[in-house]
Amino acid sequence: MTTFVPLTKLRPFKDNWRVQVKCLHSWRSNKTFGDTFEMVLADQWGNKIQATCKKTHMLRVQRAIPIGKWGVIEKVHMTSAGGQYKTTRHPYKMNISDESVVRDSDLVDDRNFLSLADFPQIGNDPKELPFLIDVMGKIHDLGDVLTVRAQGEDRKRVQFRLMDPQGNSIACCLWGTYAEQIQAFLDECQDRPIVALIRFAKINFFRGEVQITNAFGASLLYLNPTFPEVLELTERLSDEQLQLSLVDNGKKDGKRIKYDWDDAEIKQISEVLATNQVEICKIICSVEAIDTDWTWFYFGCNRHQKRANKLPKIDYENMRRGDNPMFRCELCNANITNVLPKFKLHLVVKDDTDTCNVMLLGSVAKSIIGHNAEDLWDGSYGEIEDPEILPAPIQALVGKSFCFGLTITSDNVTNGSGNYMVLEVCSGDKVLSIETVSEAISDMGTTSSTMSSAPGLLLDINSSEDPKTPFSKRKEEDADLPDLTSSSKKMCTKLIKKEKPKSD
């Protein structure tokens, strides 16, 4: 019996997924690395996910799954859902490649899968801001469609407010083709009431007020649509509310702050999650779990220390070390066989204030594990079927405490990524304390004896030496695979250092 995996189950640890989805929206995105074709897909349970593919696969995908139709997709690679604005709340997005199988489906389901936002709640929670939302209401206080100068070019703009059945309203500003769409509709509607549905809209702030606007070309605008949800809204609005009133309405760049690790502040995890600036910091934490949504390693080119992708149509399941499988290096675009596993370890860490996800690459991960990735690898090139099965030295990290040097990047601040890169594992000769969590830190005790494979890298609170934070320059391999991100910031607590004892 044919079965399909719900979109909520998709994770990056394997590629052999099989899903049945409906295309809700699609658009082309012109990025610095080339055109891509973007889609928002939904399954029969109402779960949504963003999918992307290169321009070379666009026609194949469009033919198989046009907007409003259902299709089946097999063998897709999952990556973090990054970017300044996420079209769905799924933590990952789907990448359709040469290996992916895309075909149509005979499923018939006309649902629109709307996720309408509640007006009073929009903009109240900063964690909601990176996501695109669906909003619907009656247009009032509609201004003229104006041509204004923005970002060095002339663009159409229209401002208005949306009202819900309870009388709540929210400001809206639409640009470009969306403003032209409203202008064309006004020429035909002859001042009839207008109900607008904006799908995948962006939450913005203008002069201190929450504002809804279009998210580049990813938004959809429907005016007086015949969706069942819109007809229900129209019936609930009173005659007085349905009167359309026309009125005349006449970056700060984030730069990386350079620190020595000696000067980097110690922060609580709650402060890291709330940060709104790019910087580096240190956290004192314990490992709560290994994030098995991700594999603990990737195959990298031995020459360039970059990711190498397995070539299709090879039986990797029965291939063992020494069989020389064929890979393709992302840097040199050449077919290679000299690859080895490289650490890409995702951890869930916690302190007394909160939890967060961190990622350790290469030699940074090795410093806490005490082994090379190749030593822990089982030699198989096949996909991992059970991500919960981990090498014992990695499982042994759970419950241990460390002082990690984190980098908070623009992806974390602007794009809402929840993964933080660990650049440094601070050595065990520190005497560090934070005023508000001094009791929590003291509870850790002397932990340097709890890990025999790398004892000097665990946090030792009881040391009486002068606090030092040696900085060792990391290899280029550690800068590979940047899938980071999170948002906003609180005032940091004061760092207190013990005085160095005076010698007679």
- The owner of tokens 């018939």 is 108
355 forms beta bridges with: 350
pLDDT of residue 298: 87
Structure token digits, residue 318: 């029965």
Q: List helix spans (H) across 135-215.
A: 177-189
pLDDT of residue 237: 59
Q: In what order do the strands lie in the sheet with 70-74?
A: 77-80, 92-96, 48-54, 34-42, 18-31, 70-74, 101-104
Cβ neighbours, 10 Å, residue 263 = 10
The CATH label, of 3.100.10.20, 3.40.720.10, 2.40.50.140, 2.30.40.10, for the domain at 7-104 is: 2.40.50.140
Cβ neighbours, 10 Å, residue 412 = 27
pLDDT of 59-68, one tens digit each?
Answer: 999 999 999 9
Query: Does the structure show a pLDDT above 60 at 376?
Result: yes
Q: Select the more confidently predicted residue: 82 or 321.
A: 82
Query: Does the structure show a pLDDT above 80 at 266?
Result: yes
pLDDT of residue 47: 94
In this prediction, residues 371-397 reach a mean pLDDT of 88
In this prediction, residues 46-59 reach a mean pLDDT of 91
Tell me what percent of the residues of the chain surpass a pLDDT of 90.
32
pLDDT of residue 52: 92
All structural domains of the chain with their residue ranges: 7-104, 119-236, 269-291+345-385+392-497
pLDDT of residue 488: 39
What letter represents residue 221's amino acid? L
The CATH number of 119-236 is 2.40.50.140
In this prediction, residues 461-481 reach a mean pLDDT of 39
How does residue 226 score in pLDDT terms, banded at 50, 70 and 90?
Answer: confident
User: Do 7-104 and 119-236 come out as alike in CATH topology?
Assistant: yes
- Alpha carbons 162 and 74: distance in angstroms, whole number: 41
The predicted model scores a pTM of 0.60
Strand 209-214 relative to strand 169-175: parallel, antiparallel, unpaired? Answer: parallel
pLDDT of 12-50, one tens digit each?
Answer: 998 889 999 999 999 888 765 568 899 999 999 999 999
pLDDT of 415-462, one tens digit each?
Answer: 677 889 998 888 644 433 332 233 333 333 333 323 333 333 455 433
Structure token digits, residue 186: 């006004």
Q: In what order do the strands lie in the sheet with 327-329?
A: 308-310, 327-329, 335-336
